[in-house]
Amino acid sequence: MGAATSSTSAVRNDHIEILSSLGERREDRVIHRYSNGFSGFAARLSEEEAQSIARRPGVVSVFPDPVLKLHTTRSQDILNYQFVKIKRSRTSKSKSSSLTGADTIIGIFDTGISPELKSFSDEGFGPIPSRWKGTCMEAPDFNASNCNRKLIGARYYNNTNPDPYGTPRDRDGHGTHVAAIAAGNPVQGASYHGLVRGSIKGASPGSRIAVYNICNPLGGCYGSAVLKAFQDAIADGVDIVSLTDYAQTDVNVLTDPVAIGAYHAVENGILVVGVGGDHGPEPESVVNPAPWILTVAATTTDRFFESDVVLGGNKVIKGGGIHFANIQKSPKYPLIYGLSAKASDESSDTRASNCVTDSLDKRKVKGKILLCDSSDRIYTKRQA
């Protein structure tokens, strides 16, 4: 994907010419077009067609559309966060100016948002910054009125045409979580089903939020949608992009859509903040390693819910987890291993030992503490 040409129509004509080289009109296969910072498109092509286009003069790269992985509170407290003041320089033609939190627009690239939450109320916020050029896209479950002076923009991206599931609304919860961490308002009395009750707030509660739902609840989070979101964020006028997904760890900057989109965003004065990943610490486990991305490490500090098991003889097995079972310190409860509780119609010992849903006999586990293996590669040495 090379530098963008001067006009949208010229870019479109370039794309039509490239697709026409395949022998017939293929424009209906185009999913997204890109023109801010670079010229390119995402389309449904066979491997042979993609290779044919890759051989054309002037084509920088052609690569498959990857499905990205999502990653994810109190980082600002650990860092003794008080106030952030950033320097904004949108383009070489713009004048630099200091931004307070209320002036800052944070673009959240994730699974969307639940706009009704108190974290995204616009109470106490002034007018939307005049430089904002974005929009609030509607869907059957999302109205333009869901946006406000706090949540100032919302977009979603279709990777199927037509896509009946497209919406800015969060159907996963991940995007809402991330948006609240970045810029959620202070909220009192928050808890997780009654646990860890207290106050919450985002790292920059005075900032505005623009949501870019790059994920489909049935189809994953596509790299082509990330590229389009970067294009829109540049045109919309965001100051910071929060990116909590990635394509790969061994990044090739010519084929990684996150790296490509982030590069052009940075070229346009946008700070791109990317997650370092939930895995590790092992070699090559950090994601979003492109040097123009501000890659943020995960932390294990204050992330453990103690859930110890005390055996006969007062031997304590240290563990962690969240449960809502009505279990008291006494009387004693028997232990049962998942494999020993395998359902009669379950053929897989592995599923039973891992306590996979519907693999166990409910009568055998009722009233007992269940011991499960974990086949997840991250927790191969642990049991729950």
Q: What is the pLDDT of residues 356-377, one digit of tens each?
A: 988 999 999 998 888 898 865 4
Are the C-beta atoms of residues 185 and 148 closer than 8 Å to each other? no
Beta bridge partners of 106: 209, 240
Output the pLDDT for position 276: 77
Domains in the chain, ordered, with CATH?
Answer: 2-62 (3.30.70), 68-296 (3.40.50.200), 309-379 (no CATH)
Alpha carbons within 13 angstroms on the beta-carbon side of residue 40 total 25
Cis amide linkage into residue 115, ω under 30° from 0: no
Q: Which is more confidently placed, 89 or 288? A: 288
The torsion angles phi and psi of 145, rounded to 5 degrees, stand at: -70, -10
Strand 86-88 relative to strand 215-216: parallel, antiparallel, unpaired? unpaired
Out of 84-93, 144-153, 317-326, least confident range: 84-93
Burial class of residue 356, CB neighbours in 10 A (0-12, 13-18, 19+) = middle
Distance between the two ends of the chain, CA-based, in angstroms? 48
> Residues 9-42: pLDDT tens digits?
666 777 777 777 776 666 677 888 888 777 888 8
3-state secondary structure the chain: CEECCCCHHHHHHHHHHHHHCCCCCCHHHEEEEECCCEEEEEECCCHHHHHHHHCCCCCCCCCCCCEEEECCCCHHHHCCCCCCCEEECCCCCCCCEEECHHHCEEEEEECCECCCCHHHCCCCCCCCCCCCCCCECCECCECHHHCCCCEEEEEECCCCCCCCCCCCECCCCHHHHHHHHHHCCCEEEEEECCEEEEEECCCCCCCEEEEEECEECCCEEEHHHHHHHHHHHHHHCCCEEEECEECCCCCCCCCCHHHHHHHHHHHCCCEEEEECCCCCCCCCCCCCCCCCCEEECCCCCCCCCECCEECHHHCEECCECCCCCCCCCCCCCCEEEHHHHECCCCCCHHHHHCCCCCCECHHHHCCCEEECCCCCHHHCCCCC
Alpha-carbon radius of gyration of the chain: 24
The better pLDDT of the pair 271, 41 is held by: 271
Which residues partner with 168 through β-bridges? none
The two structure tokens encoding residue 321: 């987890």
What's the pLDDT score for residue 170? 93
For residue 185, pLDDT over 60 is answered with yes
Stretch 286-303: mean pLDDT, rounded? 78
Write the pLDDT tens digit of every residue in 236-263. Answer: 999 999 988 765 556 688 888 899 999 9
